[in-house]
Structure 1
Amino acid sequence: MRKQRTIKEIVKVSGIGVHTGKKVDVIIEPAPDDTGIVFYRTDKNVLIPVNQNNVVDTTLSTTIGLNGVYVKTVEHLLASLYALNIDNCIIRIDNEEVPILDGSSAPWVYLLKNASYVEQKHYKKVLIITKPVKIKENGKFVALVPCRKFKISYAISFEGTFINKQKYELEVNEQSFIKEISKARTFCFLRDIEYMQQNNLALGGSLDNAVVVDDYGVINEDPLRYENEFVRHKILDAIGDLSILNYDLKAHYIAYKSGHNLNYKLVSSLLKDKKSYVIIGSPKQEVQVLEDLGFLKPAIG
């Protein structure tokens, strides 16, 4: 187990929301132990803690809300905070959507790393999966199964398109996230843009903040950042979606063609089945549970 963290310096950033197209200013501030991640809509004077109960929409992104006030597209920022082990902060935001920046988590990682962090007094609680939780829906699949680390195995399939099939697997930690996941950008198909904009989505989208694919390949002038950037971005989204649990995870997340909605259903299903997990609050308890699950050899003597 590790101690909780908050940021050392304030982070400020401005940008536009990818779906709303609205300009937004964000200020991330340090917070005390056990605060968690909390959005503060400064234009509405409403605090919105990040948790499963406050997820209100999962259409093409994850939206949290409280009392009719929302913050959309939180997943890239949340993934960055989770991967960098930043557990407590207040995110002051003056509009309804987190800025998309370049469509990846890389700018958030850069800003948060420059802000540095402060180790706090309390331990970060750990959620350990003790039995599998699975969801199958419309040819899609997602699961959390027992594992001594936080591991992700993800596969996507867009047969008949340039993307085709991709898969990727990694153990999630700060270093692997920064190197292998953080730079992967959100993506869409050119043919879907008109439909999305007719439904008030992707109004702020551009080739500067998304990879756009047509029948022949990527239409962006910039090359792909990874050969399999598309599945890596889906992993980025999944980390952000799972972070709403507010625990460090010891689990193997396995997904085929999943997305924000299925990830939310997985989290909800997990929390409803209290026999499928255990919450750990101390290093001694963590060792005991991992030994009981067979992930560690019992101490002798």
Structure 2
Amino acid sequence: MNKGERPGGTLQTTIKSSVSFDGVGLHSGAPVRMTILPALPNSGIVFRRMDNVPGRRDIRALWNLVHQSPLCTRLENEDGVTVSTVEHIMAALMGCGVHNAVVEVDGPEVPILDGSSAAFVRGILGKGLRRINVPLKVYRITDTIEVRRGDSWARFTPHDRLLIDFRIEFKDAAIGTQKKTLDMSNGSFVRELSNSRTFCRKADVDAMHAQGLALGGTYENAVVVDGDRVLSPGGLRHKDEAVRHKMLDALGDLGLAGAPILGHYEGFKAGHALTNDLLRAMFAQPECFEKVTCSDEMAAKLPGAGVHWDEIPEVA
């Protein structure tokens, strides 16, 4: 999008032209290139494996294709072809208001880059969005939907826009208890959340390395904490960067509904699996939501509405 332009309206969108990103996979540590391309209306977001994999290469970004994992969001199609760590690019697409795109990946993981969505956002908005002359549909929550795992829970309640309300609790003093509520319209994802990085405890990093995981993780692409210390160079980008990143993840995972959601999402110590549980519970209770054509009034309240190029946070 050019400076001063804003996406929005009642029509579907796609990216104007392709944009590529080079990096490494967080867990494999292997080099990977990802390219976002324009797509036809009503196609949604589709991931396409470009390496030599057996079976169909396309994997639709949908809640019922999630193979639940505690460390990331992984999609798997009917032929067993997977793509992992999709949450940060999904958050960028949702937060920028992109409804249709093909995301080509030449490996099993999306590149981690700096551990946030900032580079994806800059790439998407740098190319701009194109409106497609097909009406946009949205899901409107009409009744309470809640899921729990132990003392963690996630909930939808009715609201006229997407409101994300998140609370986390960690023993490490560098994170502690954090809570944040954010109206996701008016460009707030780009401005408030997009540059917040994934985070973990040093003990968890050591354990994952011992299991052959997180081989691409560094102190530059994640916030690593140890008790009351932040070990990553430069410290935090936000005092509450951890809960902001959890909200970023939630937006990306909610994007797997297949259409924008208008409702109040609340998460308490929630993660990828619990947000996916919530979407599964939502679609199992059709009486608790409705799918409607997006009006101009609704469009102004969606994530991606009111995005300003000059509000994208700079990153070190």
User: 3-state DSSP class of the match of 1:28?
Assistant: strand
Determine the structure 2 residue equivalent to 1:177: 189
The one of 80, 105, 113 aligned to 1:68: 80
Determine the structure 1 residue equivalent to 2:163: 151
Determine the structure 1 residue equivalent to 2:258: 246
Between Structure 1 and Structure 2, whose CA radius of gyration is higher? 1
The one of 39, 45, 57 aligned to 2:68: 57
Determine the structure 2 residue equivalent to 1:234: 246
Determine the structure 2 residue equivalent to 1:22: 30
Residue 7 of structure 1 pairs with residue 15 of structure 2: yes
Instruction: Summarize the alignment of residues 179-198 of structure 1 with structure 2, pairs less than 5 Å apart.
Output: 179-198=191-210
User: 3-state DSSP class of the match of 1:231?
Assistant: helix
Residue 203 of structure 1 pairs with residue 215 of structure 2: yes
Instruction: Summarize the alignment of residues 1-301 of structure 1 with structure 2, pairs less than 5 Å apart.
Output: 2-43=10-51, 44=53, 46-66=57-77, 67-173=79-185, 175-281=187-293, 283=295
Deviations 1:4-33 (A, max 9, x none): 111111101111011111111111110111
Number of aligned residues: 287
> Kindly tell me: are residues 149 and 219 of structure 1, through their superposed partners in 2, closer, same or farther at Cα, counting changes over 3 Å?
same
Distance in 1, Cα, partners of 2:124 & 2:296? 31
Distance in 1, Cα, partners of 2:60 & 2:186? 23
> Kindly tell me: are residues 285 and 177 of structure 1, through their superposed partners in 2, closer, same or farther at Cα, counting changes over 3 Å?
closer
Distance in 1, Cα, partners of 2:221 & 2:240? 17
How far apart are residue 284 of structure 1 and its match? 9.5
Determine the structure 2 residue equivalent to 1:290: none
> Kindly tell me: are residues 46 and 165 of structure 1, through their superposed partners in 2, closer, same or farther at Cα, counting changes over 3 Å?
same
Which consecutive residues of structure 2, in runs of 5 or more, have no partner in the other structure? 1-8, 300-316
How far apart are residue 97 of structure 1 and its match? 0.1
Deviations 1:258-293 (A, max 9, x none): 000111101101110011100002539979xxxxxx
Distance in 1, Cα, partners of 2:223 & 2:85? 17
Q: Tell whether the 8 Å contact from 2:161 to 2:298 is kept in structure 1 after alignment.
A: no
Worse overlay, 28-37 or 52-61: 52-61
Worse overlay, 40-49 or 222-231: 40-49
How far apart are residue 101 of structure 1 and its match? 0.4
Distance in 1, Cα, partners of 2:136 & 2:211? 40
How far apart are residue 199 of structure 1 and its match? 2.7
Please, what TM-score do these two structures have when normalized by structure 2? 0.88
Determine the structure 2 residue equivalent to 1:293: none
User: 3-state DSSP class of the match of 1:127?
Assistant: strand
How far apart are residue 189 of structure 1 and its match? 0.3
Q: Tell whether the 8 Å contact from 1:55 to 1:65 is kept in structure 2 after alignment.
A: yes
How far apart are residue 52 of structure 1 and its match? 1.4
> Kindly tell me: are residues 286 and 149 of structure 1, through their superposed partners in 2, closer, same or farther at Cα, counting changes over 3 Å?
closer
Amino acid at match of 2:93: L
Amino acid at match of 2:287: K
Distance in 2, Cα, partners of 1:150 & 1:160? 30
Distance in 2, Cα, partners of 1:208 & 1:9? 29
Distance in 1, Cα, partners of 2:200 & 2:58? 32
Amino acid at match of 1:61: C
Distance in 2, Cα, partners of 1:27 & 1:137? 36
Q: Tell me: higher relative CO, structure 1 or 2? Use CA pairs within 8 A at least 6 residues apart.
A: 2
Distance in 2, Cα, partners of 1:40 & 1:174? 31
User: 3-state DSSP class of the match of 1:53?
Assistant: helix
Percent same amino acid at aligned positions? 35
Q: Tell whether the 8 Å contact from 2:10 to 2:296 is kept in structure 1 after alignment.
A: no
How far apart are residue 2 of structure 1 and its match? 2.0
Please, what TM-score do these two structures have when normalized by structure 1? 0.92
Determine the structure 2 residue equivalent to 1:296: none
Q: Tell whether the 8 Å contact from 1:280 to 1:286 is kept in structure 2 after alignment.
A: no
Amino acid at match of 2:19: V
User: 3-state DSSP class of the match of 2:247?
Assistant: helix
Distance in 2, Cα, partners of 1:127 & 1:261? 21
Which consecutive residues of structure 1, in runs of 5 or more, have no partner in the other structure? 288-301
